[in-house]
Amino acid sequence: MPSKLTLKQGEAKTVTFTVTDADGAVVDLSTATLLLGVKKAVTDAAYVFSHLDADFDKTDAANGIVTVDLIDDDTDQEEGVYLGELKCTWDAGTVINKSATFYLSILNAITT
């Protein structure tokens, strides 16, 4: 999982997440339901943008690797640092509420 991702306002990008446990072993995400949420501050109740399970490419999920496409509307936000979190839930009730927090820095795009 990226610890810091820097994008320009309105930039689209595919982001890859690799989820591991405390011992560094990969976590099988093939049967997990995923949610990516990004907010301005940890205390914010609502996400600035989010992606649901169907938005993820889970081709390599058994190896703990998933990708999601951030579109230009996602990153068309006020310049600043945002907090992202990947939530993973399994039918058996196992939940990783936040696999890790990462920082998304959105830079001002220069337009003419």
Q: Residue 95 is part of which domain span?
A: 4-107
pLDDT by residue (tens digit) across 79-102? 999 999 888 888 766 666 555 678
Any domain includes 67: yes
pLDDT of residue 91: 78
**Closest Cα to residue 110, out of 9, 23, 24?**
9
Specify the pTM. Answer: 0.85
Any domain includes 34: yes
Any domain includes 112: no
pLDDT of residue 54: 97
Predicted confidence band of residue 42 (pLDDT cuts 50, 70, 90): confident
Any domain includes 59: yes
Give me the sign of the Cα torsion angle 106, 59, 96, 19: negative
Q: Provide the domain count of the chain.
A: 1
Cβ contact 20:52 at 8 Å: no
CA atoms within 13 A on the CB side of 33: 8
Cβ contact 17:86 at 8 Å: yes
Any domain includes 26: yes
Residue by residue, DSSP assigns 65-96 as: EEEEEEPHHHH-S-SEEEEEEEEEE-TTS-EE
For position 29, which CATH number holds?
A: 2.60.40.10
